[in-house]
Chain A
Amino acid sequence: MAKAKSNTEDYLRMYTQMVRIRTFEDNANQLYLSAKMPGLTHMYSGEEAVAVGICEALTDDDRITSTHRGHGHCVAKGADFKQMFCELLGKAEGYCRGKGGSMHIADQSHGNLGANAIVGGSMGIATGSALRAKLQGSDDVTVCFFGDGATAQGLMYEVMNMAALWKLPVIYACENNGYSEYTKTEEIAAGSITARAEAFGIEAHQVDGQDVLAVNDLTRKLVARARKGEGPFFMELMTYRYHGHHVGDINREYYRSKAEEKDWRDNRDPIIRFRAHLVSEGIASEDELDALNAQIEKDAAEAVAYALEAAYPDASEVDMHVYAA
């Protein structure tokens, strides 16, 4: 693990948040497999250290934009299980009153401007949020999450150009999980991804996305500098998604092997790694961590049960919120 200043509370919160994401996703997957969830969803499992390492370096005033694979960002930015499960099930008590679903969860109370079902679609939004911060003299920072697949979208280069020209407080966080949907990233990305940002004069870093402390350390430094007007920055976080592109992508050996998946799960899992670190450093005992896990599983089970029983929106809501008053 990367070295960081010892801070028991921060470490345990990072561990908790990573386990919360994994547990949320396990439950979401079960809801899909048991046909209790409408539509599809995209699992974040395996990438927890990215969302948690970054969001733990942010405040509620800092904004993020998220992706179709967005549950992890939403949890890491502070969202509540009940409202999230309600949204996944299309219930009225969901974050978006059931109108957004898995791919559009937004939680503005914690600065989450929303997941986005267009790959790369939020890059303008994140950069515009940073432009607003600069224009209004606010010191908040916006983090734009996107995958390696989104680096093939032209919008990214348009907004990185403007962010660099105008020194905007935005951090581009490229979650490189190795696959652009059902295609290996090396088949869709020429050259180096960080070099693309560097071409605009944007300082770019590649970091182990399975090491939550490494991600958190780097993000803290970049956020502090972005607040002082030294942005934008670019991070490429090397990570892995355990599930397929979405929950229905079960038979995927035509694009990646089970051996590869097993290697990442067994040897590079961000939660297993951080847990071992916490125990070896004497920050928490196995029993204490087991108790934390059990509490999170209980919270998730209660939230799922609540969401399953919760009411759907009334039919009168179908044409509500098309226009703001």
Chain B
Amino acid sequence: MREITLSQAVNEAIAEEMRRDPTVFLMGEDVAEAGTPFKVLSGLVEEFGTARVIDTPISEPGFMGMAVGAAMTGARPIVDLMFGDFIFLIMDQLCNQAAKTHYMSGGKLTVPLVLRTNLGATRRSAAQHSQSLQAIVAHIPGLKVAMPSSAYEAKGLMKTAIRDNNPVVIFEDKLMYQDKAPVQEEEYLIPFGVANVKREGRDITLIGTSSMVQVAEKAAEILAAEGISAEVIDPRTIVPLDEATLVESVKKTSRAIVIDEGHQSYGVTAEIASRLNEKAFYHLDAPVLRMGAMDVPVPFSPALEDLTVPTPEGVAANARRLCAGEMIHAA
């Protein structure tokens, strides 16, 4: 099978859906000729023109709000938010308007839009261009949240997102845009709320989101060499969450670590760990561990920044201790 980059996968997904549905359009900062700073959207304006690939001023709340209005009246906008950190600029339009319109209207109005943005530290971009803010939006009922872990997921989840009748936020890891993965030529969609068991195991479940799936897989390799069999699961969407697959895995392995690049406190890891405690308590042989980013603003210096995110070695070390029966905290 051919291999393409995550960037190409996103581009293909959007192009296919724009060919399929004339109501789909793109708007955001430097999405047209520039193709975004990460060049993810290069070539789209040449095919679809500036009427459907719209460069906006640097006005995130403005174009986010306009996307809500366009979506409410019959279009399917894809909003490109250059950095995930800019979510804080659009919170009213995303969380007070887009997320609540369907409910507040008693189901009469819908807001079918996609907000594509990114996450991920270790790009030496410091505290305002490195955050992973998926927990912030996952907290708000009415929004769906997808976190692709490879080019394959990025394409299939994007296509599903564009066809979904709700506001969907997709977080791409900006360090993964050049990562290649096998992606079939034939069309496919990946349904929301269906986790992917990436690797089967007996002794411990490693649940990772986005690039933390790779971290979990690398940790599983390290552990396998030591005779510890780790199962790796990618939820693929955190809203909706495939709780059943996660719970079944933990009932089998009796141990779990949840890994996500958002801040650990009040984060995605906390939510998933809590659900596992509620649903699999009598099957657990150890506390469910959370491994998120450190609770510090992302520092600039590489010497500091690299300390803030989960690593395969760190995951393996915690797994080792859990499997040895040490009731530890992931301090």
Contact = CB atoms under 8 A, between A and B. Distances in A.
Interface stretch (B69-77, B151-159, B254-262, B312-320): B69-77
A129 B141 contact: no
A248 B93 CA distance: 28
B65 A322 contact: no
Contacts of A320: 107
Interface of B: 23, 25, 51-52, 56-57, 59, 61-75, 77, 92-93, 96-97, 101-110, 112, 141-142, 144, 165-166
B66 A161 contact: no
B142 A158 contact: no
A225 to B, nearest CB: 21
21 contacts: A95-B105, A95-B108, A104-B105, A118-B96, A121-B96, A122-B97, A124-B62, A124-B66, A127-B62, A127-B65, A127-B66, A128-B67, A128-B72, A129-B73, A136-B23, A158-B59, A162-B56, A162-B59, A323-B144, A324-B102, A324-B110
Contacts of A74: none
Nearest to A63: B73
Interface in A305-325: 320-325
Interface string A120-155: 011111111111110110000010000000000011
Interface of A: 63, 65, 94-100, 104, 106, 108, 113-114, 116, 118, 121-133, 135-136, 142, 154-155, 158-159, 161-162, 165, 320-325
A186 B59 CA distance: 27
Given A322-B102, A324-B102, 17 more contacts: A95-B108, A104-B104, A125-B66, A125-B69, A127-B69, A128-B68, A128-B69, A132-B74, A136-B75, A155-B65, A158-B59, A159-B59, A159-B62, A321-B103, A322-B142, A323-B142, A324-B110
Contacts of A127: 62, 65-66, 69
A159 B97 CA distance: 16
Given A125-B72, A135-B25, A136-B75, A96 B105 contact: yes
B71 A324 contact: no
A179 to B, nearest CB: 23
Interface hub of A116, A128, A320, A324 (most chain B Cβ within 10 A): A128
Nearest to A103: B104
B155 to A, nearest CB: 23
Interface hub of B23, B56, B65 (most chain A Cβ within 10 A): B65
Given A125-B69, A132-B70, A321 B107 contact: yes
Contacts of B62: 124, 127, 155, 158-159, 161-162
Given A121-B96, A162-B57, A162-B63, A96 B108 contact: yes
Contacts of A155: 61-62, 65, 92-93
Nearest to A100: B104
B106 A113 contact: no
